[in-house]
Amino acid sequence: MHIRRIAVIGGGTMGQGIMHVAGQSGFNILLKEVSDAAIERALAGVGAEIDDEIVKWGHTVKEKEAILAKIQPVKSLNELSDVDLIIEAIQEDLESKVELFQELNQVCNASTIFGTNTSTLSISNLAAESGRPERFIGIHFHAPVYRRPIVEVVRGLETSDETVRAVKNFSYEIGKTAIEVYEWPGYVTTRMMIPLINEAVYALMEGVASAQDIDKAMELGCGMQMGPLQYADAMGLDTVVFQMEHLFRELGDVKYRPCPLLKKMIRAGHLGVKSGKGFFEYARPEAARVKLSVIT
């Protein structure tokens, strides 16, 4: 099966990034959101990402217009009936996702592949509830999507080889390297990165080094493009703790137990980029890539 037409459900940060890279690669995209205001925010977010690319890489306004023209908002799930691939990027809530996929199963062609961008929930569980487990798969992008060249293609217990091949080919067509993963809590990237972030926060809490120097050590000493504390800010510290607690419940390993400093910062409303302050301060909540000053 060759994927030609896709739909994205959920126009938040991840949905915006997925639409950006898919539109840039020539795919037509249907966007389903909960309201006209949410659609406007999603399209504005895609436009802002492209503006950043225009400044950095010399892309043109014409290219921006061409990408945005590829995105067509829809009012009803019924309008997604004949797409080849649906990528769900709504809130990380099992009941909401199950309800959505069950409704989609009633209106979509039997050939449509259901993909979820979840980073924590069980693919096999969602697949069983969807009514089409053979054509259900995890498609785990990483933020910011337009900068991260990887996507984890996650098999559920009953995901077919044909579905995996189709989604891996789609990943290559949008410029991503597809890593095939067999379902396990945290997949590969999350289960590796979460303990690193947690240990960096412990190092900060224990006074080993400043936040700036901890990140600099990992960037210069280990070749990371972004230090673990800035990465946590970009993810959102509430999201980081949510993922830590999920892995701790699923695997029972103390390395996933959140550092007390993380919870203290969340209680203070310091969530990272989206609140303007986390381990670092930001000019504005949406400026994930600009580190301006260090919190002492």
pLDDT tens digit string along 36-69? 999 999 999 999 999 988 887 767 889 999 999 9
What is the per-residue pLDDT across 78-130, written as a single tens digit (0 to 9) for each? 999 999 999 999 998 999 999 999 999 999 999 999 999 998 889 999 999 99
Domain boundary assignment for the chain: 5-182, 189-294
pLDDT at res. 2: 92
C-alpha span between 231 and 256 (Å, rounded): 17
pLDDT value at position 290? 39
Taking only the tens place, the pLDDT of each residue in 231-283 is: 999 889 999 999 999 999 999 999 999 999 999 999 999 999 889 999 999 97
CATH of domain 5-182: 3.40.50.720
Domains 5-182 and 189-294 alike in fold: no
Q: What is the pTM of this model?
A: 0.85
Percent of the chain with pLDDT over 90: 81
Half-sphere exposure in the Cβ direction for 183 (13 Å, CA) = 21
Q: What percent of the chain has pLDDT above 70?
A: 95
- Looking at CATH, the fold of the domain delimited by 189-294 is given as N-(1-d-carboxylethyl)-l-norvaline Dehydrogenase; domain 2 (1.10.1040)
- Whether the per-residue pLDDT at 177 is higher than 80: the answer is yes
